[in-house]
Amino acid sequence: MAKAYEFGPFRLDEDAEIVLRGTEPTVLGQRAVALLRTLLERAGELVSKDVLFEAAWPGLAVEESNLTVQIAALRRVFEQAGGADWIETLPRRGYRYVGPSVSMHSDAVEPTRSSPPALPDKPSVAVVPFVNLSGEAEQEYFADGMIEDIVAGLSRIKWLFVIARNSSFAYKSKAVDVRQIARELGVRYLVQGSVRKDGKRIRVSAQMVEAENGHQLWSERFDRPLNDVFALQDEIALNVVSSIEPSLRRAEAERVSRKRPDSLDAYDLVLQSQADVDSGMPDRVTKALVLLDRALALDPAYALAHANAAMCHHCLFLRGGLREEERLASVRCAESAVAFGRDDPRALTLAGFSIGMDGRDRAAAFVALEAALAISPSSALTYILGSVMLAWSANAERAIEWSERGMRLSPLDPWAFAAYDAQAMGQFCLGHYDRAAQAAYKSVQANPAHSITYVQLAAALAKLGRLNEAKAAAAKVLELHPTFRFGRQFAGVDCAPALANPMSEALRMVGLPE
């Protein structure tokens, strides 16, 4: 859970380490945020210099002038709102926050939405997380993976609008009214239920409701051998289809069913690895690769295992030093995913992204992505990752369009940061620097650990002439990625000159190393 402190026109997002004035981002460095947080926590009280030093420089011996500089930076920010005197100095003792009253909120950091999305012009459904009744927390991954496969089956229906698993899983372990979920996701129908994995059997209870009136359209219990899990997933998906449009059940049966891995053990290993793959963090994807290697030893033709491995190597290439062997491994795994996964839209999507980013073959990448969308028109991830490649290629309008389509299909997606990154780069290319800064800030909210977003924020703020804030964003880049060099990074992602040249100019202004 992230803490947010609101005071006057400002909001301090503790996780993102950003102060927002209204809707405008004002970036402060890590030290200033730590000092401000400590002062706000003890609003109206004297905070000694020793406490402040420990908050901003834990365990370090630093000169008092460092504290003076950071307090001055805070005062400059507040001065813009007439708050130059909000931090009071008590000579030789410390400081005290005496500004507007402070309210503190604890909530998950999510991109804000101005209004719920409108219902699409075709039947729309979301599958919310099934309750794990096994009594074993370590079985959560299996229940989650089962839902992901049901969503994947439904996403193959061209006349059905299906919310991506990533957004529906924002409601995991939350007691939320079905009408509220449907309203926030912009869908008419919801599927919910429970799953119990017990030895070699699996028991599932599932139901589908029309959210507006709570009317139950379908409900059933299943008790099957574990090795029938794939057939069971397809059967649940077909029950959803037939509840919405009974006459089309037979016609869509073939579309829902698809090739599955030959080995149930390989399937289980991929499910176990998924959270680490999706983290995008080098230490976690390294662990995921161990499980994926085991899965591929059991089933060498498992397309999604190859595709996930490609994404792991992509992460290690981009965030682990731009080593050529990782780039080549990403492309090699992606090519295997395409060869074995012509019927798997997620495998095609991830493989296409690796081929486009690490193989530097955008044309081949979009062949894979378009093939994924032909199979699964509701694939939010395809649009989101496609928007990133379009943005780095300086195809600004299409990048913005694809990112917006991806976000509509998955309004609460953990990959939202990538969609906002694409919007930030697209708006930067178009010269809309204020919109670029706003999109970059939304990306920081969604994923504060992603250094490239601060690069985009620094560039946009520099172009707006807000150099102090731009330099603070640049400092955050180096804090997260000490070896960052924008020239090497742009070469690593094959950034088009139309984006790289103006962005490089802006980054030189704020002192980021080339």
Q: What percent of the chain has pLDDT over 90?
A: 40
What average pLDDT is seen over the chain? Answer: 85
Region of 199 (left: φ > 0; alpha: ψ -120 to 50; beta: rest) is left
Q: What is the pLDDT of residue 347?
A: 93
Q: Is the pLDDT of residue 164 over 90?
A: no
CA distance linking residue 205 with residue 365, whole number of Å = 39
For tokens 């130059």, name the residue.
84
CA distance linking residue 128 with residue 101, whole number of Å = 39
pLDDT tens per residue across span 318-341: 888 889 999 999 999 999 999 999
The average pLDDT across 438-444 equals 88
Query: Residue type at 465?
Result: G
pLDDT bracket for residue 15 (50, 70, 90)? low
The average pLDDT across 414-418 equals 89
Rg of the chain in Å (alpha carbons)? 25
CATH fold, domain 2-107, is Arc Repressor Mutant, subunit A (1.10.10)
Q: What is the pLDDT of residue 3?
A: 65
Q: Is the pLDDT of residue 27 over 80?
A: no
Range in 134-148, 371-385, 442-456 the model is least confident about = 134-148
Range in 112-126, 159-173, 373-387, 494-508 the model is least confident about = 112-126
Q: What percent of the chain has pLDDT over 70?
A: 89
Q: Which of 232-246, 287-301, 439-453 has the highest average model confidence (pLDDT)? A: 287-301
The average pLDDT across 33-61 equals 90
CA distance linking residue 235 with residue 338, whole number of Å = 27
Q: What is the pLDDT of residue 121?
A: 76
CA distance linking residue 86 with residue 83, whole number of Å = 5
Q: What is the pLDDT of residue 494?
A: 92
Q: What is the pLDDT of residue 501?
A: 96
Q: What is the pLDDT of residue 312?
A: 95
The average pLDDT across 439-454 equals 86
Q: Is the pLDDT of residue 80 over 60?
A: yes
Residue 271 near residue 241 (C-beta atoms within 8 A): no
Q: Is 395 helix (H, G, I), strand (E, B) or coil?
A: coil
The average pLDDT across 44-54 equals 93
CA distance linking residue 324 with residue 206, whole number of Å = 47
Q: Is the pLDDT of residue 111 over 50?
A: no
Domain 388-514: state its class.
Answer: mainly alpha
Q: Where are the domains of the chain?
A: 2-107, 124-256, 261-377, 388-514
Q: What is the pLDDT of residue 218?
A: 77
| Token reading at 203 | 């028991």
Q: Comparing 480 with 21, which gets the higher pLDDT? A: 480
Q: What is the pLDDT of residue 258?
A: 59
Q: What is the pLDDT of residue 87?
A: 95
Range in 82-86, 205-209, 426-430 the model is least confident about = 205-209
Query: Residue type at 448?
Result: P
Looking only at the bridges linking them, the beta strands covering 47-48 and 94-97 are antiparallel
Looking only at the bridges linking them, the beta strands covering 102-107 and 2-7 are antiparallel
Q: Is the pLDDT of residue 241 over 70?
A: no
Residue 422 near residue 407 (C-beta atoms within 8 A): no
For tokens 């804090």, name the residue.
479
For tokens 């101005």, name the residue.
114
Q: Which of 96-110, 178-192, 239-253, 341-355 has the highest average model confidence (pLDDT)? A: 341-355
Strands (E), 292-360: none
CATH fold, domain 261-377, is 1.25.40
Q: What is the pLDDT of residue 110?
A: 40
- The phi and psi torsions of 506 (rounded to 5 degrees) equal -65, -40
How would you list the strands of the sheet with 47-48, edge to edge? Answer: 47-48, 94-97, 87-90
Q: Is the pLDDT of residue 204 over 60?
A: yes
Give this prediction's pTM: 0.70
Give Cβ neighbours of residue 251 (< 8 Å, ≥ 6 apart): none
Looking only at the bridges linking them, the beta strands covering 102-107 and 131-132 are unpaired
pLDDT tens per residue across span 310-322: 999 999 998 888 8
Q: What is the CATH number of domain 124-256?
A: 3.40.50.10610
Q: What is the pLDDT of residue 106?
A: 58
The average pLDDT across 233-255 equals 59
Tell me, yes or no, if the two domains 124-256 and 388-514 fold the same way: no
CA distance linking residue 32 with residue 289, whole number of Å = 38
Give Cβ neighbours of residue 169 (< 8 Å, ≥ 6 apart): 128, 129, 144, 147
Q: Comparing 240 with 73, which gets the higher pLDDT? A: 73
Q: What is the pLDDT of residue 430?
A: 96
pLDDT bracket for residue 1 (50, 70, 90)? very low
